[in-house]
Structure 1
Amino acid sequence: MVQLVTEGPEYDAAVAIWNGAVSNRPVVVAICTTTADVREAIAVARDRGLPLSVRGGGHDWAGRALRDGGLVIDLTRMRQVSIEDGVATVGGGATAEDVAAAADRLGLAVATGTVGTVGLLGLTLGGGYGPLSGRFGLAADNLLGAEVVLADGSAVQADGELLWALRGGGGNFGVVTSARIAVHPLAEVLVGSFAFPFEEAEQVFLRYGELLDCGPDELTSVIAIVADPEGNPLVSAAPTWSGDLAEGKDVLDGFTTLGTPLQAELTVKSPLAKLREFDGAFPDGVTYAIRTRNVAGFTPDVVTALLEAYAARTSPGTFINIHHFHGAASRMPIRKSAFGLRDDHFMLEFIEVGGDGKWARAASTLLAPYSLPGGYPNLLGPEDVQQTAAAYGPNANRLLRIKRRLDPRGVFTATALPAGVSGDQGADSEE
Structure 2
Amino acid sequence: MTSSPALPRETAEAAAALRAALGGEVLVAADPGYDQARQVWNAAVDHHPAVLVRCAGEKDVRAAVRIAREHGLPLSVRGGGHDWAGRALRQGGVVLDLSGLRQVTVDPATGTAEVQGGARAGDLIEEAARHGFAPVTGTVKAVGVTGLTLGGGYGLLAGAHGLASDNLVGAHVVLADGESVTASAEENPDLFWALRGGGGNFGVLTSLRYRVHPLTTVTSGLLLFPLAQAAAVLRGHAEILAEAPDELTVMAGFFAVPDAEPLVFLLPLWVGDPAAAEPWRARLASVGSPVAGEFTQVPYLQVASLFDDSIQNGRHTEMRTRWIPGHTTESIEVLTEAAARMTAPFSGLYLHHFHGAATRVPVADTAFGLRRDHLLVEIAASWAPGTEARAEAHRAWARSLSADLAALALPGGYANLMGPDESDRALTGFGANAERLLAVKRRFDPDAVFTGIPALPPPTR
TM-score band (shorter)?
Answer: over 0.9
- 2:214 aligned with 1:176: no
Q: Is 1:414 aligned with 2:452?
A: yes
Q: Is the 8 A contact 2:257 2:345 kept in 1?
A: no
1:57 aligns with 2:86: no
1:351 Cα offset (Å): 0.4
Query: Counterparts of 1:320 and 1:382 in 2: how far apart (Å)?
Result: 20
Deviation at 1:386, TM superposition (A): 4.3
Which digits, 9 at most, give the CA deviation of each residue in 1:359-394, with x for residues without a partner? Answer: 211110000000000111111122114422311011
| Mapping 1:87-126, distance limit 5 Å | 87-126=112-151
1:34 maps to a residue whose letter is G
Q: 1:6 maps to which residue?
A: 28
Q: TM-score, normalised by structure 2?
A: 0.88
Once residues 205 and 357 of structure 2 are traced to their aligned partners in structure 1, the CA distance between those partners, rounded to angstroms, is: 25
Aligned: 1:340 with 2:369: yes
How many residue pairs were aligned?
421
| CA distance in structure 2 between the partners assigned to 1:264 and 1:254 by the alignment | 15
Residues in 1 aligned to 2:282 and 2:176: alpha-carbon distance in whole angstroms:
52
1:331 aligns with 2:360: yes
1:227-285 CA deviation, whole Å, 9 max, x = no partner?
A: 34542122111111111112224323321111222224124222222212233332112
Letter in 1 for 2:27: V
Structure 1 unmatched ranges of 5 or more: 422-431
**Paired AA for residue 25 in structure 1:** H
- Residue 26 of structure 1 aligns to which amino acid in structure 2? P
In structure 1, what is the equivalent of residue 442 of structure 2?
404
* C-alpha separation in 2, matches of 1:310 and 1:382: 24
Partner of 1:424: none
Aligned to 1:66: 89
Q: Is the 8 A contact 1:390 1:418 kept in 2?
A: no
The CA distance in 1 between the partners of 2:458 and 2:353, in whole Å, is: 29
Letter in 2 for 1:91: Q
- Counterpart mapping for 1:206-355 below 5 A: 206-228=235-257, 230-354=259-383, 355=391
User: 1:414: Cα distance to partner?
Assistant: 2.1
Q: Can you give the 5+ residue segments of structure 2 that lack an aligned partner in the other structure?
A: 1-20, 384-390
Return the alpha-carbon distance in structure 1 between the equivalents of residues 88 and 423 of structure 2: 20
Aligned residue number for residue 393 of structure 1: 431
Preserved contact between residue 14 and residue 74 of structure 1 (Cα < 8 Å): no
**In the superposition, relative to structure 1, how do residues 372 and 100 fare at CA in structure 2: closer, same or farther (>3 Å)?**
same
Residues 1:383 and 2:421 are matched in the alignment: yes
Q: Which residue of 2 aligns with 1:18?
A: 41
SS of residue in 1 equivalent to 2:282: helix
Q: Which residue of 2 aligns with 1:143?
A: 168
Deviates more, 1:381-390 or 1:82-91: 381-390
Alignment deviations for residues 110-155 of structure 1 (CA, whole Å, 9 cap, x no partner): 0010000111111011100011111111000000000000011110
2:14 corresponds to which residue?
A: none
Give the corresponding residue for 1:86: 111
**Whole-Å separation in 1 of the counterparts to 2:381 and 2:206:** 32
Is the Cα–Cα contact under 8 Å of residues 139 and 156 in structure 2 kept in the other structure? yes
Matches of 1:171 and 1:141 in 2, distance apart?
16
- Of the three residues 127, 130, 135, the one matched with 2:152 is 127
The answer to which of 226-235 and 202-211 deviates more is: 226-235
What is the Cα deviation at residue 195 of structure 1? Answer: 1.8
Are residues 386 and 38 of structure 1, via their aligned partners in 2, closer, same or farther at CA, if it must alter by over 3 Å?
closer
Matched position secondary structure for 1:260: coil
CA contact 1:256–1:264 (8 Å) conserved in 2: no
Deviation, 1:201, is 1.3
Report the Cα distance in structure 1 between the residues aligned to 2:400 and 2:72, rounded to whole angstroms.
38
| Alignment of 1:361 onto 2:399 | yes
The answer as to 2:230 corresponding to 1:201 is yes
1:45 equivalent in alignment to 2:68 = yes
Larger Rg: 2
Aligned partner letter, 2:141: G
Task: Give the secondary-structure state (helix, strand or coil) at the position aligned to 1:276.
Answer: coil
Which moves more between the two structures, 87-96 or 234-243? Answer: 234-243
What's the CA shift for 1:10?
4.2
- 3-state DSSP class of the match of 2:294? strand
In the TM superposition, what is the alpha-carbon distance from 1:328 to its structure 2 partner? 0.5
- Inter-partner Cα distance in structure 1 for 2:35 and 2:133: 36
State the SS of the aligned residue for 2:224.
strand
Please tell me the root mean square deviation across aligned C-alpha atoms, in Å. 1.7
Q: 1:426 maps to which residue?
A: none
- SS of the residue corresponding to residue 335 of structure 2 reads helix
Q: Secondary structure at the match of 1:322?
A: strand
Question: Which residue does the alignment assign to 2:8?
Answer: none
User: 1:329-350: per-residue Cα shift (whole Å, max 9, x none)?
Assistant: 1111000000010000000011
Measure the CA separation in 1 of the matches of 2:370 and 2:280.
Answer: 27
Aligned residue in 1 for 2:7: none
Distance 1:54 1:39 in 2: 12
| Contact residue 151 and residue 406 of structure 1 kept, 8 A | yes
Task: Give the deviation of 1:419 after TM superposition.
Answer: 4.3
8 A contact 2:258–2:345 mirrored in 1: no
Give, as a single letter, the amino acid of the residue that structure 2 aligns with 1:232.
E
Q: Is the 8 A contact 2:447 2:458 kept in 1?
A: no
Secondary structure of residue in 2 paired with 1:226: strand
Q: Which amino acid aligns with 1:106?
A: H
Asked if the contact 1:381/1:416 (under 8 Å) is kept, the reply is: no
The amino acid across from 2:375 in the alignment is F
Give the direction of change, closer, same or farther, for the CA distance of 1:42–1:33 in structure 2 (3 Å limit): same
